[in-house]
Amino acid sequence: MSAAGLSLEISDPILDTAYLGEGLPAEAEQHLQLAGQNYHQDETAVMHLNKAKQAAPDHPAVFIGFYRFYFYKNQLAEALKIAQECLVKAARDNGMDSDWRKAKPDDADFDNFGAIMPRFFLFTLKGYGYLQLRLGNLDEGRTAITKLLELDPNDKTGGKVLLTVLERRENGDEDGD
């Protein structure tokens, strides 16, 4: 499935500055920066990501660092594994069931786009759905995006565009354009 010019990562500017950077130990932050600087050297970048994980094993910034690395390296199956871990973490941080399929609109403050933890859950679910679509798991992708839109009916996360790409593909436009 063509991404039709779509690029998707579990991130947005508010998440990066507010939630993801909060409480990150300096050592982990340094290793994340070094991973980014050594992006073109896979082994070195992964070594720094792993050291960041050792310094801050449950910090969202570390999860996002791994996700971005795999996503931009087009290692989508690996990025999907990280997205799945992020979904569990985001659900836990929001006091929700670990199965995203059971999420309900009143489980978190999804309507408040300034609420960082619910926002992280929504963007993570969007990334998960997108990766499923890219990997050809269309039913799972549709289920995730449908759940996203149930939780975010005003589409502040931009999930409808993913559903549109999928529907175009299903209607005979193989590239989803």
Q: In this structure, is residue 109 part of a structural domain?
A: yes
Q: In this structure, is residue 117 part of a structural domain?
A: yes
pLDDT digit string (tens) for 128-140? 999 999 999 999 9
Spatial CB neighbours of 109, under 8 Å, sequence gap ≥ 6: 115, 118
Tally of domains in the chain? 1
Q: In this structure, is residue 172 part of a structural domain?
A: yes
Q: Which domain holds residue 2?
A: 1-12+77-177
Q: In this structure, is residue 146 part of a structural domain?
A: yes
pLDDT digit string (tens) for 57-106? 989 889 999 999 999 999 999 999 999 999 999 999 999 999 999 999 99
| pTM confidence score | 0.84
The Cα–Cα gap between 169 and 177 comes to 8
